[in-house]
Amino acid sequence: MAARLTEHGYNESNVPHPRASALIFWPPNGDQDTTAEQIVDTALSYRPVGL
C-alpha cells in the first residue's frame, strides 16, 4: 500500500486525524501558542464519527 502524502509531502498514513498536517498551520481553537506535543496529542486522539 502506498503512503498517503499531503500537498506538503508529509506522510499521514499512521495518524487517525484526516488532516493532521493542517493542525500545524491552523492549530485547534486558533491558539497560536499550541506546542508540538499538543498538536500530536490532538492528531492521535482524533476519533471519526461512527455512522
| Successive 10-residue mean pLDDT values, the chain, 51 residues | 55 73 82 85 84 81
Q: Write down the domain spans for the chain.
A: 1-51
Rounded distance between C-alpha atoms, residue 28 and residue 3, angstroms: 25
Confidence at residue 33, expressed as pLDDT on a 0 to 100 scale: 86
Rounded distance between C-alpha atoms, residue 38 and residue 45, angstroms: 10
Confidence at residue 11, expressed as pLDDT on a 0 to 100 scale: 58
Confidence at residue 29, expressed as pLDDT on a 0 to 100 scale: 76
Rounded distance between C-alpha atoms, residue 4 and residue 24, angstroms: 17
Confidence at residue 18, expressed as pLDDT on a 0 to 100 scale: 80
